[in-house]
Chains A and B, each alone.
Chain A
């Protein structure tokens, strides 16, 4: 079972931790290992959990104030002098508000700038749609030179920070607000590789972020009903692991994508683009369908928007019966 390779043995009862917390902790460690690592934020150091870096390395932490556009330019200036900047804010503001700065200053210069967008997706909860980063994957995926990574839990976020440091070039890392199961093993992360967490013959589920765990639970429930799902954690949305995805879909002939993001331009689009060119397959994209989220507890928002486990399960069943 692939789960043994990637998941902790007690993954079904894994402890909860917010991905942003793990990310923040690993950044502190990285700062201790490498003097050239610097962290920037736009007045959101505490909630994006990079404040711990400031406590440890105040000389290498820059809160630029509420000015996301300038934050990116300053990061590019630092990178041009061989610093390795990680710029952190809410995904809706960065890369939302400063998209064009990222396009020209970062990507056209191919600058070694790492962008962390926290509070991504409607799981950001009560602050409402203005604060839900639900288009960030699309915005970053379209940019030349940009890598787009979505950790599924805290442990993977830590491995991603390590991999991103060792990669030279622009990277976007998407993190989330709520406490979610920390269920994967501490393993090396490879940019451009998708990880198969469960194998199955009936349907391929491509999923990213905190919903990877939900997909595994749903797959377990569906197995009891005789449906074997292959669950692939597509943490590397760009570059996309075509080999793993195509290999799976060749076997199952069916594919569902799940993301807390607009289905226009996100993971679902990336997979659909791949399949339509290489292996035309009828696909079901689950996510946010051309609408905004709403305020509330994130679990409730997921129910309203069809992103909770019951809805995911039903959507897979409906798709298989189409």
Chain B
């Protein structure tokens, strides 16, 4: 067991640091959306804690700041992070920039002509982006194929050392049938190097998810498909770190971390309101939000 499996971070990334980073990502998201006058808000904000842990929690073995121009063809053994719900991309771009994949200044070009940061992620355009997404469900299958490929390439390594694929998906995305096709395949192939992280923020573009789709007890459904389910508070960094540590110890089953989050997390007037799924804040709302985030 490595130290990160226990949740002990050796003082390198305290929960306080991660909290600050998550709010930094949130601030970036709001500034990007405001500047572009387009983009999504609620999901990127609800998942900011997940991205803070994935990119700054010292638990994911990321390729060190290597521009992904030639795709992900890397000689070394690294983990992969796949964002499947492409509309969350502002928070991914912010995390990538702050992790050093490209200059933070470039975040200002979000959605502009000639930018490397398009409205939904595109492979071969943005450093650190592994696959083009934007149509819901597709990244889940690609992540599954990637986990299979890594098993084929590095199956000789002990399970604890096998490179892993972390795939972030949204709960609205579960309405796509392809997601369940991918789950079936991942379970059948025993892809225990595949860790799904479900941003369970309970809202989608038109409404609360419960008003549109009957998930019932979502974890039960996922379990019935054969996934190893971990339920956590997805806005609690320590719980995220602990759950990833646990997920790495699961053998022969893909894991899904059901991260219960709050849509629009961190900004009082955005929290839990479907209207903020893709609403652009006014200047006043932006300033108020940044004040709340940065204190």
Using a CB–CB cutoff of 8 Å, the interface residues on chain A facing chain B are 59-60, 62, 64-65, 67, 69-70, 72-83, 100-101, 103-105, 108-111
Which of B135, B148, B189 sits near A100, CB closer than 8 Å? B135
Write the B134-173 contact mask toward A (1 if CB under 8 angstroms, else 0).
Answer: 1101111111111111101100000000000000000000
Known contacts A73-B178, A80-B149, A108-B132; decide if A67 and B184 are in contact (CB<8 Å).
Answer: yes
Q: Is B108 among interface residues, defined by CB-CB distance under 8 A?
A: no
Supply 10 A–B pairs (Cβ within 8 Å), ascending by A.
A65-B184, A67-B181, A69-B177, A70-B185, A74-B148, A77-B146, A101-B135, A101-B178, A104-B135, A110-B123
Q: How far is the CA of A109 from the CA of B182 in the complex (A)?
A: 19
Q: Is the CB of A109 within 8 A of B181?
A: no
Please give the distance in Å from A88's CB to the nearest CB on chain B. 16
Please give me the residue from chain A that is nearest to B155 by CB atom: A59
Q: Is the CB of A81 within 8 A of B72?
A: yes
Q: Is the CB of A77 within 8 A of B132?
A: no
Write the B92-123 contact mask toward A (1 if CB under 8 angstroms, else 0).
Answer: 00000000000000000000000000000011
Q: Is the CB of B141 within 8 A of A82?
A: no
Q: Is the CB of B185 within 8 A of A80?
A: no
Residues in chain A near residue B139, CB distance under 8 A: 73
Please give the distance in Å from B73's CB to the nearest CB on chain A. 6
Please give me the residue from chain A that is nearest to B178 by CB atom: A69
Residues in chain B near residue A110, CB distance under 8 A: 123-124
Q: Is B133 among interface residues, defined by CB-CB distance under 8 A?
A: yes
Residues in chain B near residue A111, CB distance under 8 A: 123, 131
Known contacts A77-B147, A100-B135; decide if A105 and B184 are in contact (CB<8 Å).
Answer: no
Q: Is the CB of B182 within 8 A of A70?
A: yes
Q: Is B253 among interface residues, defined by CB-CB distance under 8 A?
A: no
Q: Is the CB of A73 within 8 A of B149?
A: no
Known contacts A81-B150, A101-B138; decide if A70 and B144 are in contact (CB<8 Å).
Answer: yes
Q: Is the CB of A101 within 8 A of B145?
A: no
Residues in chain A near residue B226, CB distance under 8 A: none
Q: Does more than half of chain B's interface fall in helix, strand or loop, or is it mixed?
A: helix
Q: Could you say which interface size class chain B belongs to?
A: 35 or more
Residues in chain B near residue A74, CB distance under 8 A: 141-142, 144-145, 148, 182, 185
Q: Is B71 among interface residues, defined by CB-CB distance under 8 A?
A: yes
Residues in chain A near residue B150, CB distance under 8 A: 81
Known contacts A65-B185, A70-B185, A73-B141; decide if A105 and B149 are in contact (CB<8 Å).
Answer: no
Q: Is B199 among interface residues, defined by CB-CB distance under 8 A?
A: no
Please give me the residue from chain A that is nearest to B122 by CB atom: A108
Residues in chain B near residue A109, CB distance under 8 A: 122-124, 131-132
Residues in chain A near residue B141, CB distance under 8 A: 69-70, 72-74, 76-77, 101, 105
Residues in chain A near residue B49, CB distance under 8 A: none
Q: Is the CB of A104 within 8 A of B138?
A: yes
Q: Is B31 among interface residues, defined by CB-CB distance under 8 A?
A: no
Q: Is the CB of B185 within 8 A of A108?
A: no
Q: How far is the CA of A73 from the CA of B141 in the complex (A)?
A: 5
Q: How far is the CA of A104 from the CA of B176 in the complex (A)?
A: 15
Q: Is the CB of A105 within 8 A of B130?
A: no
Q: How far is the CA of A62 from the CA of B142 in the complex (A)?
A: 14
Q: How far is the CA of A69 from the CA of B138 in the complex (A)?
A: 8
Known contacts A67-B184, A70-B185; decide if A76 and B131 are in contact (CB<8 Å).
Answer: yes
Please give the distance in Å from B180's CB to the nearest CB on chain A. 9
Q: Is the CB of B72 within 8 A of A80?
A: yes
Which of B135, B142, B177, B184 sits near A80, CB closer than 8 Å? B142
Please give the distance in Å from B135's CB to the nearest CB on chain A. 5
Residues in chain B near residue A101, CB distance under 8 A: 135, 138, 141, 178
Write the B52-73 contact mask toward A (1 if CB under 8 angstroms, else 0).
Answer: 0000000000000000000111
Residues in chain A near residue B149, CB distance under 8 A: 77-78, 80-81, 83
Q: Given contacts A74-B141, A80-B142, could you give 9 more A-B pairs where the C-beta distance is less than 8 Å?
A: A69-B137, A73-B138, A77-B131, A77-B143, A77-B145, A80-B145, A100-B135, A104-B135, A110-B124
Q: Is the CB of A64 within 8 A of B185?
A: yes
Q: Is the CB of B140 within 8 A of A73?
A: yes
Which of B122, B137, B145 sits near A76, CB closer than 8 Å? B145
Please give the distance in Å from A143's CB to the nearest CB on chain B. 13
Please give me the residue from chain A that is nearest to B153 by CB atom: A81
Q: How far is the CA of A80 from the CA of B150 in the complex (A)?
A: 10
Q: How far is the CA of A109 from the CA of B82 in the complex (A)?
A: 13
Please give the distance in Å from B82's CB to the nearest CB on chain A. 9
Q: How far is the CA of A157 from the CA of B125 in the complex (A)?
A: 34
Please give the distance in Å from A230's CB to the nearest CB on chain B. 41
Residues in chain B near residue A103, CB distance under 8 A: 135
Q: How far is the CA of A82 from the CA of B177 in the complex (A)?
A: 27
Please give me the residue from chain B that is nearest to A80 by CB atom: B72
Between B131, B132, B141, B146, the greatest number of chain A beta carbons within 10 A of the residue's beta carbon is seen for B141
Known contacts A70-B178, A73-B178, A101-B138; decide if A80 and B144 are in contact (CB<8 Å).
Answer: no
Please give me the residue from chain B that is nearest to A98 by CB atom: B178
Please give me the residue from chain A that is nearest to B137 by CB atom: A69
Residues in chain A near residue B73, CB distance under 8 A: 81-82
Q: Is the CB of B148 within 8 A of A78?
A: yes
Q: How far is the CA of A321 from the CA of B12 in the complex (A)?
A: 84
Q: Is the CB of B182 within 8 A of A73?
A: yes
Residues in chain A near residue B134, CB distance under 8 A: 104, 108
Residues in chain B near residue A100, CB distance under 8 A: 135
Q: Is the CB of A105 within 8 A of B131?
A: yes
Q: How far is the CA of A304 from the CA of B195 in the complex (A)?
A: 54
Between B135, B142, B178, the greatest number of chain A beta carbons within 10 A of the residue's beta carbon is seen for B142
Q: Is the CB of B145 within 8 A of A73?
A: yes
Q: How far is the CA of A73 from the CA of B136 in the complex (A)?
A: 12
Between B72, B130, B185, the greatest number of chain A beta carbons within 10 A of the residue's beta carbon is seen for B185
